[in-house]
Structure 1
Amino acid sequence: MRRISLYHLETLLWISRLGTFGAAAERLNTTQPGVSARIRELEHQIGFRLFERAGRTMALTVRGREFVRECEPLWTSIERTFLQSGRFEGASGIVRIGAGEIAAATCLPSFFTGLKADMPRVTLEMEIDLSHGLLQKLLSANCDLIFLAGPIVSPNIETVPIGAVDMMWIASPALGGQGFDGPCPTLWLLHRHSPIHGVARASLEAAGHGDATINSCNNVRSLIDIVLSGGGISFVPEIMARPHLDRGTLVRLRPDLDRTIPFHAAIRAQERDPLVRDIFARAAALEIAEIVPGR
């Protein structure tokens, strides 16, 4: 009887899911030579080649595709058996999570605390980035789950809404009197790769300042600090500015120019890992605006 280890099947299926040996190595927290060695061992055991070179990449052979198709339900059944009845205390592995700064500063701290309580052996790796970068990381399998702003339209991504955030223009009290009605204000916005940038530009058009010079920064807290120092006005999440508004160190400008932007959790549409799927299902219960920093 041929002896095939579970890690051989896991390696093969992750290569099939992610497309490359390198991406599978990243997902399995090993090296690309290590992945190649596992595939050679598997091919030796089953007696036929699984991959063939196609230009600069490796592609599944005809028999390889059939083997993957037959093994997928078997591996899914094995994973579900290990993680049956929703009990993940014994689950292990590395789950890479990407988030925009707003989600990371609001609903995610308590979310991660709950995950670690239920999955103490799972390692969570979190990375902060703008929406554009998060989508690229998800599609390239450098993240398993992401939290980001804005509508997401892609057949390769599955999403769930996690609420919406109110965006508002703010200024220091010293500049608040001038606001949009004085000389052309010094404007600071999130970087253009953030969907919030486009929402802010549309708000500026409504204020009659569509041709204003825009300064940008990729960090909301830095934008707030710039405004606190009197360096200009900015378009930021109300939830992150609220403590300063309550203390009177910031003032709100033109409520009629406020906007709301939706947030989502997202995974790859072809994601089959039950652990990632479970975390994604938990994310669907989140409400991004329910926690206020500093309160």
Structure 2
Amino acid sequence: MRKLSLPQMEALLAIAKYGSFHAAARRMHVTQPTISMRVRELETALGTRLFARAGRGVTLTPSGMLAVRYAERSLGLLEELEARLGNGTPLNGTLRLGSSETIAMTSLPEIVRQLEGRYPGLQIDITVANSFTLHDLLATGKLDICLLTHPGASRVVRLEPIALAQVGWLGSERRLRAGTTFSPSRLAGQSILSVPPPSPLHEMLVEWCLKENAPPPALNTCSSLSIIAGLVRAGIAISLLPICVLSNEIEQGSVICYPQRRGFEPLRICAAFPRMAAGNDLDSVARIAADVLTKHPSFAPISPR
């Protein structure tokens, strides 16, 4: 594939904006033959005409209109790169931040507040999804950093554990009385609600049943952790959830965390980065998130090995 150049794209956009080669050359402080040469090179590289004559000026062809959209996006990304790395400020421009619902429901507002306070030029584009979805978005370059539940080993994503979140069976007196020891046999006849697979919580539920020598039950599923928490709060369902998402209700007694014979390992909350990403600015996001989480009463710090 022939390489496209920045001067070629700048010439394309200038002609599209000012309506003629002459006007574009004057605005860019170059000669008209220079502008014409850049456009010819770009048309040769793309294999299509970008402009058509219109009186003393030119108009964009359909291919030219498409090329302008791509050129605008390309130059916009380069300007963002310069803003983030070229002025000595570690974080500037747009940060594409992914968050699991566990973090979004408990600590994300404080994390964003601290990021904006430390980096006033930063724009934050937040995506909330389950941890497996966030991992895939990160691996394909659609996000810069994620705060998620450990999704397992990955060759393309670097995972840095930053906190622990306890997990338990949560419900209300309307479903099972307080003090009831929870076991797979207690699932029978209950409305059990779970996030669908693939998800760390669903995997934990299935593994718990297998360790108790019981088949996984039939489950109602919901893709939103916040909706599940609301249904548990309303006494409509029992669910395996991070305790932090309903910690206030547990403290008030409106939601019960049922004891069980075999407990769960806590969820490992991680900051996740593309393996090839440079550190520095993204590491500072992870440090802010870790500090917020470890100060939250419902999370525990990662013990040093």
Cα deviation, 1:102-142, whole Å, max 9, x if unaligned, reads 01222322221111011111101111001111011111211
- The aligned length equals 228
Alignment partner, residue 279 of structure 1: 285
**For structure 2, which runs of at least 5 residues remain unmatched after alignment?**
11-67, 300-305
Separation (CA, whole Å) in 2 of partners of 1:117 and 1:132: 30
Q: Comparing 254-263 with 284-293, which one deviates more in the overlay?
A: 284-293
Q: Which amino acid aligns with 1:148?
A: L
Within the alignment, does 1:267 sit opposite 2:273 as a pair?
yes
Separation (CA, whole Å) in 2 of partners of 1:208 and 1:185: 19
Q: Comparing 241-250 with 208-217, which one deviates more in the overlay?
A: 208-217
RMSD over aligned Cα, in angstroms?
A: 3.4
TM-superposed CA distance for 1:246, in Å, is 1.8
Q: Which amino acid aligns with 2:267?
A: I
Separation (CA, whole Å) in 2 of partners of 1:245 and 1:190: 21
Within the alignment, does 1:166 sit opposite 2:166 as a pair?
yes
Separation (CA, whole Å) in 1 of partners of 2:6 and 2:273: 30
Q: Which amino acid aligns with 1:228?
A: R
Bigger radius of gyration: 2
Separation (CA, whole Å) in 2 of partners of 1:79 and 1:112: 18
Select the residue among 205, 208, 221 that pairs with 1:203: 208
CA contact (8 A) 2:96 2:126 kept: yes
TM-superposed CA distance for 1:147, in Å, is 0.9
Alignment partner, residue 250 of structure 2: 245
Alignment partner, residue 235 of structure 1: 240
Q: Which amino acid aligns with 1:245?
A: I
TM-superposed CA distance for 1:272, in Å, is 2.7
Select the residue among 186, 192, 195 that pairs with 1:187: 192
CA contact (8 A) 1:271 1:277 kept: no
> Measured at CA, do residues 223 and 258 of structure 1 come closer, stay the same or move farther in structure 2, by a change above 3 Å?
farther
**For structure 1, which runs of at least 5 residues remain unmatched after alignment?**
9-29, 39-74
Q: Secondary structure at the match of 1:161?
A: strand
> Measured at CA, do residues 240 and 280 of structure 1 come closer, stay the same or move farther in structure 2, by a change above 3 Å?
closer
Q: Secondary structure at the match of 2:217?
A: coil
Q: Secondary structure at the match of 1:256?
A: coil
TM-score normalised to structure 1 length: 0.66
TM-superposed CA distance for 1:284, in Å, is 4.9
Within the alignment, does 1:254 sit opposite 2:294 as a pair?
no
Q: Which amino acid aligns with 1:186?
A: S
Cα deviation, 1:170-222, whole Å, max 9, x if unaligned, reads 22102223765554422111221211110122223345542411111122222
TM-score normalised to structure 2 length: 0.64
Aligned pairs (5 A) from 1:87-98: 88=90, 92-98=92-98
Cα deviation, 1:53-78, whole Å, max 9, x if unaligned, reads xxxxxxxxxxxxxxxxxxxxxx99x9
Q: Secondary structure at the match of 2:97?
A: strand
Aligned pairs (5 A) from 1:116-155: 116-155=116-155
